[in-house]
Structure 1
Amino acid sequence: MNRWLLSAAAISLLTTGIHVLAGGPDVHDPLLAIDMPPVLKVYVSLLWHATSAVLAINSVALLWASISRRYREALTGAVVAQYLAYAGLFIGYGLAYVGTLWQTPQWAVFLLISALALVGLRSAPSDLSRLAA
């Protein structure tokens, strides 16, 4: 078992829980309370729940990568790419719209998870490097 990837999976799962349990009342519900056309409310909810699904799937992918070498590089690479994209979006939009990163601190957890996952990849022998040897 790769403990770095397991740690990344645990933090990803914790992030998923925070998104669902705390983010719902703090972000999703207030957005739905705004007077807007019903179709926009549908999109707000779809995007909210799609994010929940991606976070949960990524958590499972990191957990699987931590215990199985077969797809470790592919699973970890896909999750890291997504989480680095999320971090970049939080940084970019935080700076562009509110002028600070402190109101959009989610970037930090996505960078942390990505860093742990990348260390996990480097700490275990690569399937490709074993084939080349």
Structure 2
Amino acid sequence: MNGWFLAAATIAALTCMIHVWLGGREVAHPLLASSGLGKVPKFTNYYCWHLVTIVLAGLALAFGLVAWHAGSRDLGAFATGCAGLFALWNLAMIRRFRLRVTHFPQWALFIPMAACGALGLWW
């Protein structure tokens, strides 16, 4: 078993749970309750919120499979790359739009996930 990939899987699963629990309460429910958005932007965003849920669960599964040697290292590399790109995009948005780091803390979960994945690829 690869402990680094297992750690990445754990972080990904935790991130998915946080996304569903807190994101549902703080993002998805207010989005659906908003009356200022048209149907297309509202439900496109809601659809994307669910896509993120699926991707996070997929990352947890991918890292978990590679941790238990049931998946290829290519799968681990792909999941690691996704986590790293998600962290970079989050930080780029914060900088570009002058957002508060504390309001968009996704990077704080994706960076350790990507780092553990990278260490899993290394060892």
Give the TM-score normalised by the residue count of structure 2.
0.92
The Cα shift of 1:120 comes to 1.2
Render the CA deviation track for 1:45-93: whole Å, top value 9, x for unaligned. 110000000000110000000011650x211111111111111111011
| Equivalence for 1:120 | 120
Name the CA distance, whole Å, in 2 between partners of 1:63 and 1:95. 32
What SS class does the counterpart of residue 105 from structure 1 fall into?
A: coil
| Equivalence for 1:3 | 3
2:49 matches 1:48: yes
| Equivalence for 2:31 | 31
The Cα shift of 1:42 comes to 1.5
Name the CA distance, whole Å, in 2 between partners of 1:49 and 1:70. 25
Of the two structures, which has the highest relative contact order with CA contacts closer than 8 Å and spacing of 6 or more? 2
Runs of 4+ in 1 over 4 A off after TM superposition: none
Q: Which AA in structure 2 matches 1:19?
A: H
Question: Percent identity over the alignment?
Answer: 30
Q: 1:70 to 1:76 in 2, by over 3 A?
A: closer
Give the TM-score normalised by the residue count of structure 1.
0.85
In structure 2, the gaps of 5 or more residues are: none
In structure 1, the gaps of 5 or more residues are: 124-133
Greater Rg, structure 1 or structure 2?
A: 1
Report which stretch shifted further, 47-56 or 62-71. 62-71
Q: Which AA in structure 1 matches 2:121?
A: L
What is the Cα-based RMSD across aligned positions, in Å?
1.4
